[in-house]
Homo-oligomer: A and B are copies of this chain.
Amino acid sequence: MGQLGEVLERHLLCFGEMPEPDRQAVRALDGEVRNLPRLQDALREGDRPKEVVVVLSGFLYRYTMGPHGARQVHSFYMASEAPCLETLYIDYMDNNLGAAVDSRIGLIPHEMIYRVIDEFPEARKLLWRQTLVQAAIFREWLVRNSNLPAHAAIAHFFCEMFIRARAAGLSKGDSCDLPLTQEFVAEALGITPVHFNRTLKQLRDTNAVEWRSGRLIISDFDRLAGVADFNPRYLHLRC
C-alpha cells in the first residue's frame, strides 16, 4: 500500500467506481516524494517525464509563457489531484508545471501505471476518464475566459475551486484554502492583476464571497453561482 497510490485511488473514485481488485492495484502504486518550493517547476516544456505527478500538499499550476513574458495559467491543482496524467501517452510536455506555494509532490513511475492499465480495465477506465475531465475543464475555462465579463469569470473561478476542494475533502463548511496571489488568478482568467483587483472589490461588496490570507469563504454559493452562470456538470464529479 503506497501512500501515493492511496491518494490516487481516492482521487479516481471521485469520477466513478472500481471493483476491489482494481482499487487494490491502484493503491499499491508508489514512488518518490519530493518537496517543491514555491515558484519552482516540476515539469518544463519539452520534458519527457517518466513519472506521473500527484499533489500531496500545496498548490500547483500549469502555464505557458507567451512571447512578451506574458504567462497564461491553464489550471491549478490542489492536494490529491493528479496533473499531467496525460504524460503517460503524449510524447512531450507542451507546457510547464510549477508550484504556486511550497508544495509536496509524489512521483509514480510510468512503468508501474502501465502495468495497472494493462491488467485492470476498470482502473484504466477511470484513469482515462480523469484525463477527459481535465479536457472538459479546459473547455469550460475557454468559455469562461472568452465570454464572461471579469466579475462573472472571477465568480466562476471561485465556484469551481470550492467544488473541487469539497470533492477532495479539503473544504470546511463554506470555506476552503486558496493560497494564491491575485496575480496568479488574474493570469488564469486572462485579465490584468489591476483589473482583477478592482473587480474583486465589487464582488466582495455583494457579500457573497470573501478571499483573504489564502482562504476562500463563500457565504452565498447560490448567488455567486448565479453571477457566474456556474453549473458543476462539467466537472463530472460523482460526489
A residues within 8 Å of B by Cβ? 16, 64, 66-67, 70, 72, 74, 86, 88-91, 94-95, 118, 121, 125, 128-129, 131-136, 138-139, 141-143, 145-147, 189-190, 229, 233-234, 236
Q: Which residues of B contact A66 (CB under 8 A)?
A: 143, 147, 229
CB–CB A89/B129 < 8 A: yes
Alpha-carbon separation in the docked complex, A129 to B92 (Å): 12
- In the complex, residue of chain B having the shortest beta-carbon distance to the beta carbon of A226: B67
Q: Which residues of B contact A145 (CB under 8 A)?
A: 142, 145-146, 190
Interface SS majority for chain A: helix
CB–CB A142/B74 < 8 A: yes
8 new A-B contacts at CB < 8 Å, known A72-B146, A90-B136, A94-B234 = A74-B142, A88-B128, A89-B128, A94-B139, A94-B233, A128-B131, A138-B142, A142-B190
Alpha-carbon separation in the docked complex, A134 to B86 (Å): 11
- In the complex, residue of chain B having the shortest beta-carbon distance to the beta carbon of A133: B90
List the 7 shortest-distance A-B pairs measured between CB atoms, nearest first.
A146-B190, A135-B135, A138-B138, A145-B146, A72-B143, A86-B132, A67-B229
Query: How close is A207's CB to chain B, nearest CB, in angstroms?
Result: 22
Query: How close is A77's CB to chain B, nearest CB, in angstroms?
Result: 14
Between A and B, 25 residue pairs with Cβ closer than 8 Å are: A64-B139, A66-B143, A66-B147, A66-B229, A67-B229, A72-B147, A74-B139, A86-B135, A90-B129, A90-B132, A94-B136, A94-B233, A95-B139, A128-B131, A132-B135, A134-B135, A135-B135, A135-B138, A138-B142, A141-B142, A142-B142, A142-B145, A145-B145, A145-B190, A147-B190
